[in-house]
Structure 1
Amino acid sequence: MRARRLRRRTPRRATAPAGPPRSTGAPSPVGVPAGQTAPVTDLDEAVETAPDTDALDGRARSALDLLIWDAPNIDMTLSTVIGARPTAASRPRFDAIAAWFVEAAGDPGAPDAPEVEACVFANIPPVVGSLQRWVEALRGFGFAVFARPKQQPDDDIDQAMLDHIDVRRHSHRLRRLVVFSGDGRNFAEPLEELARTGTQVTVVAFSEVAGYAIGSDLLEFIDIEDVPGAFAVPLDRVRLDALPPEGAWLRPTRSLRDFVSSYVRRNG
């Protein structure tokens, strides 16, 4: 019997980004065009065409270490923890994150070395601005990017991330999954279910907003600032899980007078 799929919140025919990016000069996989973009694949079709590995004890599928980056969530929570709009100096360095992820996969020449795949999921607003340069930089670092137009304020890509994880757990032996997201509402249950099947699942986010992973007995948690080189300079934050022995002052994020003025306006 095949492994059960991850339970998803939206009862619909699921789709997910197409396969991992090809190495330079590698032939195109069957059904995948050789252009800059790849189609969205149907999850049901991907599951049905995956080999029945139970009889082969999993040997038909390659091992895979997969990284999933929830760009809207990481951007939002970064603003929350530093109390300001992120600047170039305070944004994550994807080159360092790629190096950290690949190093943990082990020696690529080892007989049991896994494939590695890193995917960034992003909502693209109508005014693209500097996002084109950001996307091209990510691709240059070896990340695949799943970009979806943001047409409504509540549009998100959580389901696309869950769908892609589900596709990969059927197309490969998902050895390790690293999810950069503090979104426990959508990820806690599916990630714990996956961990129960034997996949090593690590959540990387900010400790201030990732209680679902910190409190889980099944998930490993790493604060994103603990990833070596993830930020060019230390973030302007005081982590309650890493306070100095002598304590620390937490500055207000707005002036007392400004708060009282807004309070009076709201309450008369």
Structure 2
Amino acid sequence: MTTVSDIHESTHHYSAGAAPGPNSLLLVWDAPNLDMGLGAILGGRPSAGNRPRFDAIGRWLIQRAQELSHVTGERVEPEATVFTNVAPGGADVVRPWVEALRNVGFAVFAKPKTDEDSDVDPDMIAHIRRRAEEGVLKGVVVASADGQNFQDTLDELAGAGLPVTVIGFHEHAAWAVASERFDFIDLEDIPGVFREPLPRVNLDQLPETGAWLQPFRPLSALLNSKH
């Protein structure tokens, strides 16, 4: 398990990212993971029209930072960061989205997706660790359902007294929903994030007529999978 001392030690080897600033409520947005979760709910690849609105997320984060400032008696600034991969030949497709994020006020960490080991997971953890080492981290918000990567670090930060929030879809983040150490907020519950309600099916509250659950991927994908 990652400890707070481990977090401090590892950050000495991490040099990317912005310079230390004021007290920070840090949002780390796991774009590949949330994109996959949204696609599972929609039954296909999300389009521009049904992706989350980052201006709404930014306003929500600002409000949280103001509330944290009031509680702590210290000025806390929101810091919004999106981590994403860029597939070979996909720069032209991703560029407008990245520029829109930066225009809203989000920093973006983009990494080429060359193989299975080039995910942004370690970069997200490293950024959280660096802010913890700098002593400016006053709260952290992780937008992801990936408990395998985040849970240990978030448990340790919460145990050290930092307020921790996880944003995601409750269908895919049981580890966060059930945690007593930090808060969970369903992405759809943040005002204005989605233009239209998501077509979600809750197995605990199925309609009497039943509901279709579409496959996450086509059967033909089995032809390329490893045995």
TM-score above 0.5, yes or no: yes
The 2-side partners of 1:17 and 1:141 are apart by 21
Rounded to whole Å, the distance in 1 between the matches of 2:41 and 2:202 is 9
Aligned pairs for 1:120-135 (under 5 A) are 120-127=82-89, 128-135=91-98
Question: Which of 246, 252, 256 lines up with 2:213 in the alignment?
Answer: 252
Q: Which amino acid aligns with 1:120?
A: V
Instruction: Say whether the 8 Å CA contact 2:50–2:195 is kept in structure 1.
Output: yes
The aligned residue for residue 38 of structure 1 is none
2: CA distance, partners of 1:73 / 1:262: 19
Unaligned runs of 5+ in 2: 223-227
Deviation at 1:82, TM superposition (A): 1.9
- Indicate the SS of the match to 1:208: coil
Q: 1:71 to 1:109 in 2, by over 3 A?
A: closer
Q: Deviations over 1:137-182 (max 9, x none)?
A: 0000100001111111442111101110011112233221110000
Give runs of aligned pairs for residues 136-215 of structure 1, distance below 5 A: 136-215=99-178
Q: Per the alignment, do residues 252 and 166 of structure 1 end up closer, same or farther by CA in structure 2, a change over 3 Å counting?
A: closer
Output the amino acid matched with 1:19. A
Which gives a bigger RCO, structure 1 or 2 (Cα 8 Å, sep 6+)?
2
For residue 6 of structure 1, what is the aligned residue in structure 2? 7
RMSD: 3.0
**Equivalence for 2:58:** 98
| Contact kept? 1:17, 1:160, Cα under 8 Å | no
Aligned length: 214
Q: 1:14 to 1:248 in 2, by over 3 A?
A: farther
What's the secondary structure of 1:5's corresponding residue? helix
Q: Provide the rounded CA distance (Å) in 1 between the counterparts of 2:121 and 2:221.
A: 34
Q: Which residue of 2 aligns with 1:229?
A: 192
CA deviation string 1:232-262 (max 9, x = no partner): 1111112357x48x767321316xxx98x99
Tell me if structure 2 keeps the 8 A contact 1:16–1:163. Answer: no
Give the structure 1 partner of residue 225 of structure 2.
none
Identity %: 41
**What pairs up with 1:30-41 in 2 under 5 angstroms?**
none
State the SS of the aligned residue for 2:7.
Answer: coil
TM-score if structure 2 supplies the norm length? Answer: 0.83
Could you tell me which of 42, 47, 52 is aligned with 1:82? 42
The alignment partner of 1:19 has SS state of coil
**Preserved contact between residue 175 and residue 200 of structure 1 (Cα < 8 Å):** yes
Query: 3-state SS of the aligned residue for 1:207?
Result: coil
- For residue 93 of structure 1, what is the amino acid of its counterpart? R
Deviation at 1:196, TM superposition (A): 0.4
**More helix, by proportion:** 2
TM-score, reference length from structure 1 = 0.71
Q: 1:218 and 2:181 equivalent? A: yes
Q: Aligned AA for 1:195? A: A
> Residues 196 and 218 of structure 1 are in contact (CA less than 8 Å); yes or no, is this contact kept in structure 2?
yes
What secondary structure is seen at the aligned counterpart in 1 of 2:6?
coil
Report deviation, 1:133. Answer: 0.5
CA 142–12 in structure 1, closer or farther in 2 if over 3 Å, else same? closer
For the pair shown, which has the larger CA radius of gyration, 1 or 2? 1
Which position in structure 2 is the counterpart of 1:19? 18
Rounded to whole Å, the distance in 2 between the matches of 1:173 and 1:262 is 45
SS in structure 2 opposite 1:237? coil
Segments of 5+ residues of structure 1 without an aligned counterpart are 21-28, 30-60, 264-268
Do the aligned partners of residues 7 and 106 (structure 1) sit closer, same or farther apart at CA in structure 2, a change above 3 Å counting?
closer
